[in-house]
Structure 1
């Protein structure tokens, strides 16, 4: 048996590729055989991530998302099929999360200093954003899947940062599968997706980051095989104003940054777009409402809650027992 294992493993070479995009770096770790054209493969990976950025970024004035934001109310706007797919998923999670996930928070994001327009909160802009922020996004944004068009039915500013990176990882997995790669781990920031397991027959081991404000540390390890994971938290991107720390994720129901004692939420899902959106939604929903929501939907979720200087774990599904996290 050991000889058979070594002969099988000898077919593959461990390769790690990475590149810049979306203000961070994408990476792909794979066990590749001799048939893979590495140069073409790397170019396709980079192109897939960059295309998502060009279509969805609120930081690029000429992105397709910003074309929709600039369009007048009631005007149909042609968009790429990929953007329509992301918007459809965003509206679906918006409905199922009772508004905790809301793609129409662009005005709030900018007003609080987390967007491309400002790096500090603006009280007047916050007041205006509160007055114009639509609570029911699905009632204010119409999608035409046949014509591949979008129409705003109220003044709104879309922001898809809570789902875009997960979607970019899904696009990377499509490239992996297109090139016949059967053992890989695709990643962009805190969003990851495993294609199969490692060629040696074991799952991919992924570190779950501790929500530490001062340093990067590992809280535990998750094993992935044909599965995606995403984490949203309050500890990486924030502003300090008057001694208060403001997390970058918006709570659209409070018209303000999330502030509910949840340090991070990690979600497992079949694809990374769903994992990313739900991690954001549950972070906003908070521990009580979020756990009830996740339990109702049968999700695999881990909440890390701040209680003074300590962290409390609350998990469901695969995270339901502490043994499921290898520290």
Structure 2
């Protein structure tokens, strides 16, 4: 499943935490000095799950199995047709029966499409395929063809029937793209598995889509680095402290190509079909559920600073960090005491 991998946040363990792990001076519920980490490649990205207590291989294996199930249902690139593949192939023809997993993710995707007034639109697939950003075939599309594909982008023409768990794309050629939300759902499912298996301290990292379970082993907030949108992955501009939260970023830095000195990133505006150009370089969302952070990060990026700030300030238990193209940082009211700026190239504005 080729999902957007722009949502990059670097996990930072403080020196004090690292020292405590080495020395064995950890809280009583931690059974081992060294955390257990296992990796896998699923959902089109590198996944790392790290347990700091109740360290059992079978717990992580169960989590990976759950992610594999989600991938099989929602992938559009696997050998065996997924539910989403069947939905796209049936566009303009008939409704398709879905599992509860896939229906829920589509329902969430349509919700955020509505919440953002179409700035985030899960039916943007035809335009995404036209640009091919992130592949060797990336190119600026022909204007006439782009206009035709834009006519197929309309989340209102995705019909969902919860009584029957069916969906239908009303126009032939419509394509659902779950790249802005499916990883978030998978992270939430892993979180649930770990909690049910008695894990109290863990980090779930789906290609930079971070879910922090509980606190660190010293019972202090996790410290998560926020990606600098003008530098390669693993360069961070600031640190946010979180407990039991998802942290997800959308930005201009991960997938792009350059043509005649212009950079074209992959966050496409459903209104124009071109990469969004609204003065934002990155948006990080901090909230309880990863699927919500995933949907909101793209939605808010496309809405821009002012509308995006207004939206987040009116949502419960949700905060945001906005990074502009002129290297200014704006914070929503609830995160100001938990963010530390470390890169002095940036200016904290509020």
TM-score of the superposition, structure 2-length normalised? 0.83
1:32 aligns to what SS in structure 2?
coil
CA deviation map 1:80-116 (0-9, x unaligned): 2111111111111111111111101000101112388
Q: Provide the residue aligned with 1:144 in structure 2.
A: 161
- Deviation of 1:10 (Å): 5.4
Match of 1:226 among 237, 244, 249: 244
8 Å CA contact 1:110–1:117 kept in 2: the answer is: no
The match for 1:316 among 332, 335, 342 is 332
- Do the aligned partners of 1:294 and 1:301 also contact (CA within 8 Å) in 2? yes
Match of 1:23 in 2: 44
Q: CA RMSD in A?
A: 2.2
SS in 2 for 1:58: coil
1:202 aligns with 2:220: yes
SS in 1 for 2:28: helix
Q: Which of the pair has the greater relative contact order for Cα pairs under 8 Å at 6+ separation?
A: 2
| Match in the other structure for 2:145 | 125
1:100 corresponds to which residue?
Answer: 119
Aligned to 1:111: 130
In structure 2, stretches of 5+ residues that fail to align are: 1-24, 343-350
**8 A contact 2:38–2:50 mirrored in 1:** yes
CA deviations 1:172-202 (Å, max 9, x no partner) are 1122123221211111122111221123211
Structure 1 residue 74 displacement after superposition: 4.9
2:256 to 219, 231, 238: 238
CA–CA distance in 1 between the matches of 2:113 and 2:184? 16
Judge which range, 265-274 or 294-303, deviates more: 294-303
Distance 1:215 1:227 in 2: 21
Which stretch of the first structure deviates more once superposed, 51-60 or 101-110?
51-60
Partner of 1:264: 282
Task: Tell me the number of residue pairs that the alignment of Structure 1 and Structure 2 aligns.
Answer: 313
Name the SS for the 2:113 alignment partner. helix
Runs of 4 or more consecutive aligned structure 1 residues displaced over 6 Å after TM superposition: none
Structure 1 spans left out of the alignment, 5+ residues: none
Distance (whole Å) between structure 2 residues aligned to residue 300 and residue 6 of structure 1: 30
User: Match of 2:294?
Assistant: 276
